[in-house]
Structure 1
Amino acid sequence: MGALRLELEQKSPFDTVCGWVFWQGSLACVWYWSQELEARVRQASQPAGNQLEFVPEAALWPQLDAGGYRWVQEQGNALVLVQYQHPKHGLYEKRYSAAVSREEVAAWLRRHGAGDVSADRLVAAASPGYDKPFGQSLEGRSSSLESRVFPLSAALLGFFVLVYGVAIIRAGVGSENARERAEQMEQSISGIVALRQKAASLQSQTALLAEFNAPSQVEVAAELAELLEVEGGRLVRWAYRDGRLELSWEPEGPLPDSTRVITALEEAARFGDVQAQARGNTVMEISTRVATARREEPVND
């Protein structure tokens, strides 16, 4: 009941709610209205205001089949009504304050789409009744919203405020400790950072000096021609980058042996890591590393 009243308080269009709940097992049919409206009705109906009663609720009766009807006439229970289940438009219901005749019931059924209904065949039946029915007013007890939700919300709010406050304090202490450790680490690594920067600068300077010491490509070409005994032919490709030379050479005569080319260049001071291969029957491809300075020739004692 408390959950039902809480839901009505949250969804009702009225500022204050009163009403009546009719329970049929776990199902509830609820009538509710404005509390101010009820007060005005009671005041206008004085002195009989204390004799207001709630009419029996038929919404929880078993549902009629499509095209079926129900005529209940129990004057002792102040219950006189007619129901008709329209196949398309749903349930129609009419309540009366006094007993009605078969002709009145038949006319009402025809007006609501029951077709040609014979008054002679209409029979009033007893109300289906309920399985342990129970009616209860929405008034007379404190609001669940105030007595349950508000205290629980206040307790939860206090708990979260406490937890949040402790977390903020711990975070502040941890942040201060982390800042101190960061300052210590910054002081200890400042020297390492300076050394790394200096090493990078020296490396760049060394690379520049190596470029100045690199031989000219004209010198390299002349030495290659001398070592390979080139007397003619055509240079197909020449690519020199970062100390590595790749070339394709088409001699006038037959192609030299790849092994002889590798041996001739490896014995020279300027060349190393030599690779040579014939491409087809006319072109010799050579790839070699070119030293920035001539290697010292071994001296035989």
Structure 2
Amino acid sequence: MSEARNALVTGGTRGLGLAVARRLAAEGWSTTVFGLDQGRLEKVRAMARSEGLDLHAVRADVTSEESVRQAVADLTRTRPLHLCVNNAGRNLSRLLLRTPRDGGGELLTHPLDDWERTLRLCLTGVFLVGREAAASMVRHEVPGVIVNVSSGLACGAYGQSAYTAAKAGVEALTRTWSYELGPYGIRVVAVAPGVMDGEALREKSTAFPRHARYMEGLKRFVPLGRWAAEDEIADAVCFAADNPYLTGSVIRIDGGGPPGWVP
């Protein structure tokens, strides 16, 4: 390409976000990642230098309206934004109700704080960043693309009230924004991964052997018999960014299942 296109990836200092950012930078995008952990931001900068990538790391809190406004304004002050990948998120597994393991005491319920923190990061963060990215694209008259990372769990899953509600909301925002932003030439697409064999899964499986056994058992419901590599999901994000007639769609890349997690 004659002139570098500019991309933003939230939650881009690890896992899928970092895989997407590296892929975009390798393909010639001038890429910026948003993250909160200063140590991880520094690692991304060091990696970019060592690999010769046009990849930058900025501290920004996607749950803060002011932080998002300032970070996107700084990013687009001298150059337009062509692609925004809303990837930041976190899954907190909580049952709506559960009885104490010893059978006594009061019924335990899903904490409101966990619900609100999950929705603020996984849904409100998408809204805030997507809104500012779209406004920037319109101001610069750029026919840009917003790719929202959803999940194969958006249809519902055991012990995932907050996360599944947030991801279902992400898919609804994707369709809504495709209608609203289409007249400006802006496309909006969602990518919904299944389980990824990445850093997050490995860390949790190491810390909780019971979870590792549960996840291993789930593979029997996946026709391909394995979890996705993060690079395979990054491929889908790049496809969504490059296909000029794709908007309002949810690309499900889950190996054929499972449709939702069950006990």
Bigger proportion of residues as helix: 2
Larger relative contact order (CA 8 Å, sep ≥ 6): 2
The structure where strand makes up a greater share of residues is 1
TM-score (norm. length: structure 1): 0.17
Q: Rg: which structure is higher?
A: 1
